[in-house]
Amino acid sequence: MSMTAANYPLGSRSEVGRLRAVMLHRPGDELLRLTPRNNDQLLFDGLPWVARAQEEHDAFADVLRANGVDVYLLGDLLTETIEHSGAARIQGISSAVSPRRLGTHLAEDLAAHLRSLPAMDLAHVLTAGMTFDELPVTPAAASSSLVRRMHHGPEFAIEPLPNLLFTRDSSFWIGARFAITSLALPARVRETSLTDIIYAHHPRFLGARRAYESQVAPVEGGDVLLLAPGIVAVGVGERTTPAGAEALARSLFDDGLAHTVLAVPIEQARAFMHLDTVCTMVDVDAVVMYPNIAETMAAYTLRSVGDTVVVSGPRPFVDAAAEAMGIEKLRVIDTGLDPVTAEREQWDDGNNTLALAPGVVVSYNRNVETNRRLRDSGIEVLEIEGRELGSGRGGPRCMSCPLARDEL
Ligand SMILES: NC(=O)NCCC[C@H](N)C(=O)O
């Protein structure tokens, strides 16, 4: 693994090794773009109270820092990246400014304007987007652009990215490498242009190598669970497709980053958009899992055998996982046996825990029953508030991209 300024290498081979460094995104003005008319399309179930969401997020970051984790904020990394690299600036602008949406004339004008902005202001536009009302005013542009005249002022010339909050999905680390994912839905596609330039140009990531370069089909980080070194589970459902899971597996095999991948079908439903909405690891041999699917969750096993890939199954996920991990049994802690409580707490991200070390997790405090059951099973639970953060349907795991974990 590549050494960095800090005294730990970047990278991660599990979900539970002691967490050393993480990338979060402090929610900002991009959340102020949400309205009752666009929130469904922008994948939020309500309109968060933004100042309160920021307070909750600051408290989350403080819990991580208090536990020895270095917290990097995506907004800061993005500003520093743009400050540091002209190529990153150009790349960020060209992925945000769409001639298809704006027409070539307005697109060229806007790109020129963005090239002149201070790094922090450009980072703000790239995350919070820009409305037609906010476009720079030049008399020539105002009279000669049909696009400008026909669009309503509050419409987006550049779409905002409210789901940047969920840093788990737009990139993930496996071994010493990072993977830029391929997000499935239009509201999130541009997020990876930002993680891409950060990893490519920020000095903190100098020398870091990529995994899964081809990005041929959708794979989202929330679907990727590092069960143990060399063994990866990939959810296949609303976001990650079978083609994405297969392409990821082949790429990880080719790069020697994994030898076994479990492809886990999950329901194509809003409540289960990623594997980590129903199952996360809380210890080296334990997961917290949504009980209403625990018995039916299955997995296809993909193994790298010589030059080929062998697919077997499907069989019960817990059996396939235990066998791949070489343990007798995968301990399953469920989120309450009463199906209604379980359903409520799954919706509120009870299953979406972030492990800080084996047996130590961060969880939303509202999931009283799940947290109680985790503690009864010997797991230490650090609770955070998520009344506002949760309106985007994501918990502590979704909101964190681990950059470095200790080996188990
Ligand atoms: N890993 C996760 O489950 N991330 C949560 C993503 C929530 C976001 N509103 C989305 O629908 O993509």
What would the mean pLDDT of 251-263 be, rounded to a whole number? 97
Q: What is the pLDDT of residue 3?
A: 45
How many percent of the chain have pLDDT more than 90? 85
Whether residue 141 has pLDDT greater than 80: no
Q: State which CATH number among 3.40.50.9100, 1.10.150.20, 1.50.10.20, 3.75.10.10 fits the domain covering 19-73+162-405.
A: 3.75.10.10
Are the C-beta atoms of residues 231 and 258 closer than 8 Å to each other?
yes
Omega of the bond prior to 99 within 30 degrees of 0, cis? Answer: no
Range in 10-19, 137-146, 188-197, 243-252 with the lowest mean pLDDT: 137-146
Domains 19-73+162-405 and 77-158 agree in fold: no
Rounded Cα distance between 297 and 314, Å, is 10
Query: Is the model more confident about 215 or about 369?
Result: 369
User: Would the pLDDT of 2 be above 50?
Assistant: no
Please state the atom number of ligand 1 nearest to the C-alpha of residue 42. Answer: 9
310-360: pLDDT as tens digits: 999 999 999 999 999 999 999 999 877 688 888 888 888 889 999 999 999
Task: Name residue 268's beta-bridge partners.
Answer: none
Indicate if the pLDDT at residue 143 is higher than 90: no
| pLDDT above 70 (res 1) | no
Q: Which of 228, 232, 398, 399 is catalytic?
A: 398
**pLDDT > 80? residue 16:** yes
The answer to whether 401 is a known catalytic residue is no
Task: Look up residue 95 and give its amino acid.
Answer: S
pLDDT tens profile 281-292: 999 999 999 988
Mutate to test the pocket of ligand 1, among 352, 364, 393 (most ligand atoms within 8 A of CB): 393
Q: pTM of the full predicted structure? A: 0.95
Confidence band for 72, pLDDT divided at 50, 70 and 90: very high
Q: Which of 126, 102, 122, 129 is nearest to 33 (CA)?
A: 129
Whether 239 lines ligand 1, by a CB cut-off of 6 Å, is no
Size of the chain in residues: 408
**What's the pLDDT score for residue 294?**
81
The pLDDT, as a whole number, for residue 140 is: 62
Is residue 253 within 8 Å of residue 321, measured between CB atoms? Answer: no
Which ipTM was obtained for this model? 0.98
Q: Is 393 in the pocket of ligand 1 (CB under 6 A)?
A: yes
Is the confidence at residue 375, as pLDDT, over 90? yes
Nearest atom in ligand 1 to 183's CA? 12
> Within its chain, how far is the Cα of 332 from the centroid?
24
Res. 128 pLDDT band, cuts 50 70 90 = very high
Note whether 197 and 207 are within 8 A (CB).
no
Q: Where in the chain are the domains?
A: 19-73+162-405, 77-158
Third-level CATH fold of 77-158: Pentein (1.10.3930)
pLDDT on residue 139: 60
Ligand 1: which of 192, 274, 278, 353 to mutate, judged by most atoms within 8 Å of the beta carbon? 274
Answer whether 80's CB lies under 8 Å from 118's CB.
no
- Whether 245 and 273 have beta carbons less than 8 Å apart is answered as no
